[in-house]
Chain A
């Protein structure tokens, strides 16, 4: 087990290094000159040579390798530099915004888990009957509807039409509901099929026959025997979905005016504020790698077959 954890940590570190190279290369190779944008932002008309001065000020004139080494060294120490757009400390901004994105992802993951379990069980209780078809239909709808459209529909229905929930802001649980639901729709749809198929396979296993022979009812078998059996499968799928939620946050946060990492990243991209873009990309990739590590460890803890394999 320690061998497994050590190997996974090494893999994660290599991945993080590669991710840093990719982040840096992608951002600096984008066309356009950020110094011009900054000069524009600083005054209606730039003075002669001011763009050159800005380029010097933000280190654009240094060789690429030197810029990468400087950036990585600082990033490892937790210093992501100063935003070219706002002049504020990127690390401080990241710390504030991580909490917002954390709330979004955690709440959405919880809701997606609950909805997916409910839909999955609905189908598994009445396989190939109306509830199963409804559950499948909802999953198909949820998986094929773009997130921004889901968000717009939510706002239109609950804020504009019924005026029940706020359409924007981060002021307590009531304002969290719509963003949570918006982000949860897609993972709930995907996970519900994982639950449904997993339960079906589990119900066809020999241990279910044993349980039946002991006189256990269908509900008891589903909850006590089949559900624990699909746990590793569900954790794996949930981990992937939680990782992907960082991408969804980029769409959902600006939509609901949440000042999270997604909104920060998008503003950085629009302005080519590459200190912000690089930092956000690195955080997203780190999050993805850490989530995968946690998922692997959780699966290891809950699946004796994998434990045996690594012991």
Chain B
């Protein structure tokens, strides 16, 4: 078989022309805007929305599934599917009054039976024992159609706060699960019904039977745009209306500034997540000395990091938690950089010489492990700190690793210094205190920010066992110990940055990073 070269060329040319003509004649499906539709960017597909399962963007779940109670501003617990609650028996019994007139999106009534079915999908199961209400769950009584009583083996710390979480506590219709008990489709009681979902977008419309206030617009499209620059461009070109949030479609401070300069509305919330530096005295002998830890801490210019690297959006941190969280403790001013005092502390600790200090012939070298995938911008922050440490005679070596390696290294304590992010609302302060600081709690994912079984554990255990008025003073003792021992170095309160188009009016950033901020928005057409 042979083909003449001219014939080949003619054939190939014809095929290309045909393909291009077909493309040109096809219907152009792109529309610039859509009336009554809020278009939100999400960084990855919404994924499996089973409230008791795992992978998804939690803010997407928030559109459909509601909790018993909502986590409000400042940690106030507000009614949602439960209108009233009473905790008795020293915190071991919870009486719930359920909201009447609530329907699931498939027409099923929300009542005590539906509530019981939902709670039994996760309460008391090993998989969810990281939540105290699941770990201590004993039994559940249905009193009548709209009253239910939960019994726990032990008092549950921050019980109502736990019931406000996005996972696994939110309620789905019993009919949205197959006969085999597996999740089939997302049907909740929330104001939005999922119309379609694939890897490129999730589309939602009003749920007409919603019990509460319905959004003023009819449709919400969550469009998947993985690249941050593309999200910014899409907002500027008017193709989407809203980007931002730590877990939804993150914006860096640089991008926030660029958007501000371009005249786009940028909303910055102080946030409730803290970037904290961890010391690992088990690996770095020098860090066993609290004077060295203090020297490192006061050698860091938090104000400069906040001003330059976060473009003024972040606030320097003086505490493990910001005052935006309940039980955040006494709020201290952030340490001001004092290189002379830091140097004096190092001298006093026996680290002398220049340019790099040494003791017994061993140079003061510390390794800081960073992962820009896990903590955005951490590489640059590390470089600033490296330069500041050099000025006080510490040789700081930066090791940048990917997300997976960071997890392994932090778990195995292969670092001298490392960055941690606290969990934020609604999990904090107890989530981070227990998860990151209690030695007996096996956190197999992130490792520990700081542990001390002898001194710190009893304080944390006392705080988690406290009830009522005792909570504040007992948890303050944990904060005081961390501060007195320079056990950690809080750096900045990480801001929550949002940007929206001019179509959006009334935007307010969500209370937690796990919520979708759809509630107060009005679309101007």
Contact = CB atoms under 8 A, between A and B. Distances in A.
Interface of A: 1, 30-34, 36-37, 39-52, 85-87, 93, 96, 106-107, 110, 113-114, 152, 155-156, 159-160, 163, 165-176, 224, 227-229, 231-232, 254-257, 259, 263, 266-267, 270-272, 298, 301-302, 304, 307
A110 B20 contact: yes
Contacts of A256: 230
A160 B406 CA distance: 37
Nearest to B3: A301
B112 to A, nearest CB: 27
Contacts of A43: 54, 128, 130, 167
B233 A167 contact: yes
B409 to A, nearest CB: 8
Interface size, B (range):
35 or more
B3 A39 contact: no
Contacts of A51: 444-445
Contact of B26 (A36, A173, A227, A302): A173
B237 A46 contact: no
Interface of B: 1-3, 5-6, 8-9, 16, 19-20, 23-24, 26-30, 32, 44-45, 47-48, 53-55, 126-130, 167, 198-200, 223-227, 229-230, 233-234, 236-239, 373, 401-408, 411, 423, 427, 431, 435, 442-446
Contact of A33 (B130, B237, B404, B423): B404
B248 to A, nearest CB: 15
Contacts of A174: 28-30
Contact of B1 (A96, A156, A301): A301
Contact of A167 (B45, B47, B237, B446): B237
Nearest to B262: A160
Contact of A307 (B2, B47, B373, B406): B2
A34 B130 contact: no
A165 B32 CA distance: 9
B408 A33 contact: yes
A40 B445 contact: yes
Contact of B129 (A30, A47, A107, A224): A47
Contacts of B233: 152, 155-156, 159-160, 167-168
B223 A169 contact: yes
Nearest to B442: A48
Which of B2, B26, B401: most chain A CB closer than 10 A?
B2
Contacts of B408: 31-33, 36
B229 A259 contact: no
A259 B48 contact: no
A46 B239 contact: no
A93 B5 CA distance: 39
B48 A87 contact: yes
B129 to A, nearest CB: 5
Contact of A32 (B19, B229, B407, B446): B407
A14 B471 CA distance: 68
Nearest to B240: A168
Contacts of B239: 159, 166-169
Which of A37, A45, A51: most chain B CB closer than 10 A?
A45
